[in-house]
Amino acid sequence: MTRFRANIPSSEITPESLYMSRRQWMKWAAVGAAGATLAACAPGSSSAGSSAPAATPVKGTVIPGQTDELGNKLNSLADITHYNNYYEFTTSKEDVAPMSTGFSTDGWQVEVGGLVNKPGKFSVDELIKKYSPEERIYRLRCVEAWSMVVPWMGFSLAKLLKDVEPQSGAQYVAFTTLQAPDRFPGQKDPSYPWPYSEGLRLDEAMNDLAIFGTGLYGKPLPAQDGAPIRLVVPWKYGFKSIKAIVTIDLVAEMPKTMWSSIASNEYGFYANVNPQVDHPRWSQATERRIGELGRRPTLMFNGYAEQVASLYTKLDLRANY
Amino acid sequence: MQRKKRRSYGWLQVCVHMAALLPLAWLTWQATQGALTANPIQAAEQRTGDTAITLLLLSLACTPLLTITQFAPFQRFRRPLGVYAFLYASIHFSLFVGLDYLFDFRAIWADTSGKRYIWVGLAAFVGLIPLAATSFTRMMRRMGKDWKRLHRVVYAVAVLAVIHFAWVVKGDLSRLQGDIARPALAVVVVALLLAARLPAVRKRLRRT
């Protein structure tokens, strides 16, 4: 298998308080002071973890010079936490970080139901304890033609789905985000059919690459990145990776998704990264990697063709964009 | 009408130049500080585009404002505002070709050939070039009536620029969804400014 899987089992991850040097702590704190200083937003500012002068790489954190399996450098924590598409807060990518600072995820529960033998309501803490998240370094390709390389912490969807025992009629998995306009001011905009909803075919969801993201750079997931639990489906455009999930339903029919119900000609159900199929208004052939000049060619399935192309052998990808 | 002493309002002229250069200075300063979001190229492209359209519309607002207020200096803001609009449009264009695509014209063609917003924006920019090139007093004198005729192209440029803006933002004017407030405002302003040129409207503006 490729290197998207961390070489270190998460069980070996030392609690951060034990390993973090005082200096590292101070850096984390500086970055954590969300957007308080513009310096923290500087695209050139390196991530706290990778710039630490640690002599021995610390388990579970990002090792200096660590890359994805294709040799791409990681984006900084500052970039990943200050450039977010999260319409529940605002449509401005830069303003999500300051607007989400007070977002509490205490006692968050996820309800798993539909065509399963063992439906249930699980607290995120419970899920994290049970499925012990591991580090997954994934490229994230936004439908807006920019991309980042992100060291997520997460666990495979398959683990949870197997445990709830899907029934034979279950063909798709539908996800929805929390509906709470008092906490998500963007949900007061009536031109969007809130709550955000997304879906996967069951076999897509069972692919090992598809994870629930619960952390970033070895730390709990920041609010602006979809805390406390989100989807990460790296071979699809970013909008498929729904944030702040509260319900997961196994269903027989292809579920409605928010973006495809707003503009089905622009955002399909599959939304696989595909340089050959353009968005009607812009090209998907190239992308800007955040932090770089110029453009990179976009890779088929975002570079994960080896792992996922077999899911789509019977599908016309031009018609099913 | 009351006869006023002719005043030059030179300081006002200076203010206009400073105000027009301020967005560029601020952008440059932020860029050197790394404060242009995680996606600084796109931020710079968007902001130079915004400024270019704003200055173009302000330039077009001068004549109706002069008609309404009879405040003579408006007449003299038109040209600098228009030339600065061209300056920002040039930077906008150069950022796209130079920094965004690093002069990779094959990639630009592959990415943009089918995209209507690109062509409309490019047409607006190309339309501004002869106007900027003939913006000197000497050219104005030499061209006489043709100068005025040529410079009517600016109306088309304004319409194209606003369409470019409306098509490029993440949102949809026809569905009233997304980031449409600013392009919608630009559409309204350009419509008003063009309407102000209609003879019937002009006459009425003068009377009030």
Helices B40-69, B10-32: inter-axial angle, 10-degree rounding: 170
pLDDT averaged over every residue in chain A: 84
Residues of A with Cβ-Cβ distance to B112 under 8 angstroms: 283
Min mean pLDDT across A156-170, A206-220, B26-40 is at B26-40
Q: E-strand spans in chain A?
A: 109-114, 120-123, 134-141, 146-156, 172-177, 197-201, 211-216, 219-220, 230-232, 245-251, 286-289, 296-297
CA–CA separation, B208 and B206 (whole Å): 6
Q: What band does A63 get if pLDDT is binned at 50, 70 and 90?
A: low
Q: Inform me whether the C-beta atom of residue B178 falls under 8 Å from chain A C-beta atoms.
A: yes
In angstroms, the separation between the Cα of residue A127 and the nearest Cα of chain B is 32
Confidence bin at A13 (pLDDT 50/70/90): very low
Helix (H, G, I), strand (E, B) or coil at A26: helix
List the single residue in B35, B112, B114 with the smallest CB-CB distance to A38: B35
Picking from B164, B186, B163, the residue whose alpha carbon sits closest to that of residue B55 is B186
pLDDT at A22: 39
- Residues on chain B touching A238 (C-beta within 8 angstroms): none
Hey, is A67 helix, strand or coil?
Answer: strand
| Interchain CB distance below 8 Å, B37 and A93 | yes
pLDDT per residue as tens digits for the range B137-146: 999 999 999 9
Q: Which residue of B has its CA nearest to A281?
A: B115
> Considering only CB atoms, which chain B residues are within 8 Å of A75?
38
B9 has pLDDT over 70: yes
Note the pTM of the prediction, 2 decimals: 0.79
Residue A249 has pLDDT above 90, yes or no: yes
pLDDT over threshold 80, residue B2: no
pLDDT at B181: 87
Query: Contact B99/A192, CB-based, under 8 Å?
Result: no
Residue A46: is its pLDDT beyond 60? no
Note whether B146 contacts A: Cβ–Cβ < 8 A. no
Q: Taking CB atoms and an 8 Å cutoff, what residues of chain A touch B176?
A: 191
Give yes or no for B31 touching A (CB within 8 A): no
Instruction: Give the neighbor-by-neighbor strand order of the sheet with A120-123.
Output: A120-123, A109-114, A245-251, A172-177, A197-201
> Which amino acid does the sequence have at B16?
V
Euclidean distance between CA atoms A75 and A288, whole angstroms: 13
Measure B94 CA to nearest chain A CA, in Å: 13
How large is the average pLDDT for residues A22-50?
A: 38
Q: How far apart are CA B205 and CA A314, in angstroms?
A: 66
Chain-chain contact of A39 with B115 (C-beta, under 8 angstroms): no
Q: For residues B116-122, give the mean pLDDT.
A: 94
> d(Cα A237, Cα A271) in Å, to the nearest integer?
6
Is residue A149 within 8 A of residue A68, CB to CB? The reply is yes
Higher per-residue confidence, A106 vs A5: A106
Q: Is residue A176 within 8 Å of residue A196, measured between CB atoms? A: yes
Mean pLDDT of A245-253: 98
Residue B175's closest chain A neighbor by CA?
A191
pLDDT at A262 over 90: no
Angle at A80 between CA A79 and CA A86, to 5 degrees: 115
Mean pLDDT for A181-208 is: 95
**In terms of DSSP bridges, do strands A120-123 and A230-232 run parallel, antiparallel, or are they unpaired?**
unpaired
Name the closest residue on chain A to residue B167, using Cα atoms: A281
Q: What is the mean pLDDT of residues A32-61?
A: 38
pLDDT, tens digit, for every residue of A94-147?
999 999 999 999 999 999 999 999 999 999 999 999 999 999 999 999 999 999
Q: Which of A11-20, A131-140, A251-260, B103-112 has the lowest mean pLDDT?
A: A11-20
C-alpha distances (whole Å) from A70 to each of A32, A74, A180, A222, B130 are: 29, 11, 39, 26, 48
B171 contact residues in A (CB cutoff 8 A):
91
Beta-sheet pairing, A219-220 with A230-232: unpaired
pLDDT attached to residue B156: 97
Question: Is any Cβ of chain A less than 8 angstroms from the Cβ of B1?
Answer: no
> And the tokens for A131?
């499925």
pLDDT of residue A168: 95
Query: For B31, which residue in chain A has the nearest alpha carbon?
Result: A42
**pLDDT at residue B4, rounded to an integer:** 54
Tokens 């390196």 appear where?
Answer: A46
Sheet strands (E) in A145-304 = 146-156, 172-177, 197-201, 211-216, 219-220, 230-232, 245-251, 286-289, 296-297
B173 touches chain A (CB under 8 A): no
Query: What are the tens digits of pLDDT across the range B129-138?
Result: 999 999 999 9
**Do A294 and B101 lie within an 8 Å CB cutoff?**
yes
Please tell me the predicted confidence (pLDDT) of residue B114. 80
Residue A137 phi, psi dihedral angles, 5° rounding: -90, 115
A300: exposed, middle or buried (C-beta count within 10 Å: 0-12, 13-18, 19+)?
Answer: middle
List the single residue in A with minimal CA-CA distance to B101. A294
